Structure 1
Amino acid sequence: MYYMLKIIKLKTMKKITRLLCLILLFITGISFGQKLPKFVHIKGGAFIMGDETGLGRENQRPTHKVNLNSFRISETEVTVAQYRYYCNETGVTMPKEPSWGWQDNYPIVNVTWQDAINYTNWLSNKLGKKVRLPYEAEWEYAARGGKKSKGYKHSGGNNIDEVGWFRDNSNNKAHPVAGKKANELGLYDMSGNVWEWCMDIFAADYYANSPKKNPKGAAEGEARVIRSGSWNFNTNLAFRYGGNDSSGEVYEYFGFRVASE
């Protein structure tokens, strides 16, 4: 009887310990899954790409119809915790710390385009499938809500304060990912927080010559496309710029999210 009671007590203690661990994980948000990005499936389709308001820059025009295959894109920008996990596994040095310090649930910043590519190559090996940066057309299609789009002005709504961090509400710094409302596809921070590197080579006149099916950017050039707007910038769904990766300079408002087929 004594041994039976001892076994029962041990089993009970194990259950209590397991329960306490689960509660701790829930409270702190710490889990293995957070070390790797969570992907959202985006069903392919057609959309009108570019600035439809007439208020944007020349490089956001002309508007043009684009057809895309289905793909997957990460729910949030790659976080500090996710990038640190990669650095710990590979021996890569963490980027320069931003002025607000490293906080696990913030987007990783101060990374070049090549840094982002190196991360996707590592993640490809980790997951056993090809991971890359999103192409610009994929990025905009996802930001607009894909086949579930409701035609919002910003990604996820018409009120920018509800869906994004930008110049007027950010207090001059980035913020934790997924702190604002998600868009129609369950994606966060596609209007503001940090600019996001895309796969494409940037060309100001690319929209005038863009293929209609799965466009992948200009054939040559030094700059890479960045999308989203950021905490120190105004935001618009169609905003696009070229970030010069060859200089090796990094910025506290440049980050990235990842994609796969």
Structure 2
Amino acid sequence: MKFSTLFTATVCVFASLAAASYSFADASATKTAPGIATEKPAEGPSVMLEDGTFMVPYIQRIPGTDIQFEMIPVPGGAFTMGTPEDADDFVEDEGPTIPLKVKPMWVAKTETRWDMYKEYMRMYGVFKEFESQGVRLVDDSNITDAVTAPTELYDPSFTFEYGSKETQPAVTMTQYAAQQFTKWLSRMTGIQYRLPTEAEWEYAARAGTTTAYSWGDDADEIEDYAWYFDNSLDGPGDVGTKKPNPFGLYDMHGNAAEWTVNEYTEDGYEWMNEANPGDATSATRWPENPYPCVARGGSWEMDPPDLRSAARLASDDEEWKSEDPNFPRSPWWFTSDPSRGVGFRMFRSLEELPAETISKFWEASSQETLDDVESRVSEGRSGYGYVDEELGEAAKNVGK
């Protein structure tokens, strides 16, 4: 079936659905994987699968808390990644264009919020407390199920200068820290959450469109869809308060730029011509160094051209950590602009990825980053915590 047909037949996601009410699966109420229904919902987004069941929206609760977020089904299909060379807004690192196939997936309705990320930040103290009590210790038998938690902010004013409300997007975390968050959440819920590849992110942002933005080519309409430099001088806006894209995803343009797992390549996607990945999940250039890596979507600090569906932002640890008073500088935190506009959004594949594949999404592939983390752990300035489905309850009241 052609993507355009599949998109029309199985997905009913439009801006007008932003205020619609529909039934959700509750990921905290069942041990079975959420987001699958035997019947098509009467309204709201859904994706029909080959076996006649439907991918549907669902609510995920972070175990041990009342914090929730929503996942939206996105249909599989095909698209062309990048910007054509003859386009008015072509930037050299956005080409050559590459045709790719994409498998069905769920994508978080909004960027990861501060209330969600602060619960992960709290794990630093939780893991230290467990260590002092001699419980839930990490050893060779469970190290693969362990994560690091971000160290406490040396000076919170760098990160929180423009707000840390529960409803704002969490920002200034490194790619590694975002990866560890998704592993932490996945191990607690038993559901594979992860960062996207660049290709998956662009497919979700375009939502079936081929224009510069998901609403069209006219940047004059950006006010309705994005928090950007001209309308957000005081920091990022609350997530989900602008219009969504055709898939029902909010803030894909602006507010916070969003981490992908990809290494940044100055020559754009030339490497794909040689690698010929075929599908978007395999279209991954795993980083060999801590930077540059790719964030997408642009932020509240940026102008409209930087918020296009194909626009890329290359990380720069030297610049983004220039005000970090630590030495060596933190593998979990940035301090300096434009990092105060960089966050992330969670993705989930329809079919679970093999262990050796999902581990690449959860762990740093740069040896320099791994060595930096190990150095801090060995010095007692950080540590590992064992994560399973019992952690949420075990950590519920620690340090509160």
TM-score range, shorter chain: 0.7 to 0.9
TM-score (norm 1): 0.79
Q: Secondary structure at the match of 1:82?
A: helix
Corresponding residue for residue 191 of structure 1: 253
Q: Distance in 1 between matches of 2:252 and 2:210?
A: 15
| Match for residue 217 of structure 1 among 285, 292, 302 | 285
Taking a change above 3 Å as real, the CA distance of residues 71 and 236 of structure 1, as seen in their structure-2 partners, is same
Letter of the structure 2 residue corresponding to residue 46 of structure 1: A
Partner residue of 1:154 out of 182, 207, 213: 213
Structure 1 distance, partners of 2:117, 2:188, is 13
Name the residue aligned to 1:8. Answer: none
In the alignment, the residues of structure 2 paired with residue 245 and residue 71 of structure 1 have an alpha-carbon distance, to the nearest angstrom, of 31
> Larger deviation: 42-51 or 199-208?
199-208
Whole-angstrom CA distance in 2 between matches of 1:139 and 1:56: 19
2:81 to 49, 57, 61: 49
Displacement of 1:98 in angstroms is 2.2
Name the amino acid aligned to 2:70: K
Task: Tell me the C-alpha RMSD between the 2 structures.
Answer: 2.3
Q: Does residue 256 of the first structure (1) align with residue 337 of the second (2)?
A: no
**2:21 — aligned with what?**
none
Q: Is the 1:172–1:231 Cα contact (8 Å) retained in structure 2? A: no
**Corresponding residue of 2:31:** none
Distance 2:91 2:268 in 1: 13
8 A Cα contact 2:212 2:310, kept in partner:
no
Aligned equivalent of 2:239: 177
Pair 121,219 (structure 1): closer, same or farther in 2 beyond 3 Å? closer
1:116/1:181 Cα in 2 relative to 1: closer, same or farther (>3 Å)?
Answer: same
Equivalent in 101, 107, 114 of residue 80 of structure 1? 114
Tell me by how many angstroms 1:209 deviates.
Answer: 2.5
Look up the match of 1:65: 99
Partners of 2:209 and 2:225 in 1: CA distance? 14
| Structural mapping, 1:13-162, within 5 Å | 35-52=67-84, 53-89=87-123, 91=125, 92=149, 93=151, 96=156, 97-145=159-207, 149-156=208-215, 158=218, 159-162=221-224
Q: 1:100, CA displacement in angstroms?
A: 2.3
Q: Which residue of 2 aligns with 1:12?
A: none
TM-score if structure 2 supplies the norm length? 0.53
Find the partner of 1:239 among 305, 311, 329: 311
CA contact (8 A) 1:200 1:217 kept: yes
Aligned length: 228
* Structure 2 gaps, min length 5: 1-59, 126-148, 322-329, 350-400
Q: Match of 1:143, as an amino acid?
A: A
Quick check: 1:156–1:182 contact (8 Å CA) kept in 2?
A: no
Q: Which amino acid aligns with 2:94?
A: Q
Once the two structures are overlaid, the 10-residue window that deviates more, 217-226 or 39-48, is 217-226
Amino acid at match of 1:39: M
Confirm or deny: 8 A CA contact 2:162 2:234 kept in the other structure. no
Q: Secondary structure at the match of 2:233?
A: coil
Q: CA deviation at 1:94?
A: 5.8
Q: Which runs of 5+ in 1 are unaligned?
A: 1-30
Native 8 Å contact 1:154 1:237 kept in 2: yes
Q: Measured at CA, do residues 141 and 126 of structure 1 come closer, stay the same or move farther in structure 2, by a change above 3 Å?
A: same
8 Å Cα contact 1:173/1:231 also seen in 2: yes
2:298 maps to: 229
Q: Does the CA-based 8 Å contact 2:298-2:313 persist in structure 1?
A: no
User: How far 1:151 sits from its partner (Å)?
Assistant: 4.1
The aligned counterpart of 2:226 is 164
Shift of 1:86: 2.3
Change (3 A) 1:88 1:200: same
Q: Bigger CA drift: 126-135 or 213-222?
A: 213-222
Q: Measure how far apart 1:220 and its partner are.
A: 3.5
2:109 and 2:211 map into 1 onto residues whose CA distance is 19
Cα contact 2:94–2:268 (8 A) shared by 1: no
C-alpha deviation, 1:77, in angstroms: 0.5
Aligned-partner Cα distance in 2 for 1:245–1:132: 22
Q: Deviations over 1:141-172 (max 9, x none)?
A: 00001xxx244532345511111111122124
Name the % identity: 32
Does the C-alpha gap of structure 1 residues 32 and 137 become closer, same or farther in structure 2, counting only changes over 3 Å? Answer: closer
